[in-house]
Chains A and B, each alone.
Chain A
Amino acid sequence: MTPLHALIAALKAEYAAVYLYGLLGGRASRGGKPAEIARIASLYAAHRMRRDQLIALLGARKVTPPVPAVAYTPPIDPVSTSTRTACAREVELRSESIYTQLVAATAGSERAFAINALTSVSTAAVTLGQTPSAFPGLVL
């Protein structure tokens, strides 16, 4: 995978994550506990920040970023606190894989960004109930 393809794949993943966390937040605001709403808000903000950083990295390469899709289908129907947590965990696990690929494909400041992003999403996955792994995001 070229660095450009990996950056675009990461941006598309962040578009989906931002959309899905918006959806989860909307659902949680109707009956979710404050702790759940705060957690979703925090993860939403983190994905928005990485989305913006990816757009900036593409801009630095003089590449026009792709536009987001109109909507994204949640991997799990987020009808309850437990399914919303599972949905969020799935988003973070997908992000782990995307950022591991971005680490492999890039160098320098782009790789530094990917390493930090990988750390953030893998930690988030564990706070959402994922079992820790010796090598998150990698299939060995």
Chain B
Amino acid sequence: MIASPLTRRAVVAGGLLGTAALSGCSVSDLTKRKTNDPEAADRARLAKARDLSLQLHDEIVATMTRDPRLSTALAKIRDMHLEQIAQFTNSAGLTTPRTAGPTSAPLTLTALPDRERELAQTFRALALHAQRGDVAALLASAAAGIDQVMVR
């Protein structure tokens, strides 16, 4: 979605993101140093949304593993996160695999709604400041998607 004719600056930004992913350092740290590049800033917003989604996804999977009776109820939420992770990755042109660890702690059931609300709120904040309209719409829609699945 964010894909556009590559400028030299975009190529450099893409290289920075790839380097960050391979070295394990924070993408947002890199883009903070390059805040005058709106394209890179939006990629960092999508990368942040992807990483936060991955983290919560892994915690949900850990919860399902700990208590299989919750699997059916949590599968819809897990699947939504997977869809959003894929779209964020694709839209930002990220090629990195997961950055969240495989040893995430399970959630308590009372914590899950709070964590989902917090993630939706973060998406809305990222959407508000996105430079590109399509990135803003994607993030705002993802926040609404979280709200939808929690209502259901």
Contacts and interface: CB of A to CB of B under 8 A. Distances in A.
B137 A122 contact: no
Given A111-B136, A115-B124, A132-B80, A100 B149 contact: no
A135 B1 CA distance: 14
Interface residues of B, number: 26
B75 to A, nearest CB: 13
Q: Is the interface of A mostly helix, strand, loop or mixed?
A: helix
Interface string A95-108: 01000110111100
A136 interface: yes
B140 A134 contact: no
B87 A119 contact: no
B74 interface: no
B64 interface: no
B102 interface: no
Contacts, number: 85
Interface in A51-89: none
Interface string B15-48: 0000000000000000000000000000000000
B137 A127 contact: no
Interface in B108-152: 120, 124, 127-128, 133-134, 136-138, 140-145, 147-149, 151-152
Contacts of A106: 133
Contact count band on A: 20 to 34
A122 B142 contact: no
B134 A104 contact: yes
A130 B147 CA distance: 13
9 contacts: A101-B137, A103-B137, A105-B133, A115-B128, A118-B144, A119-B120, A132-B145, A134-B83, A136-B148
The 10 closest A-B pairs by CB, nearest first: A104-B133, A132-B148, A134-B83, A122-B144, A104-B137, A135-B141, A132-B149, A103-B140, A134-B145, A115-B140
Interface of B: 1, 76, 80, 83-84, 87, 120, 124, 127-128, 133-134, 136-138, 140-145, 147-149, 151-152
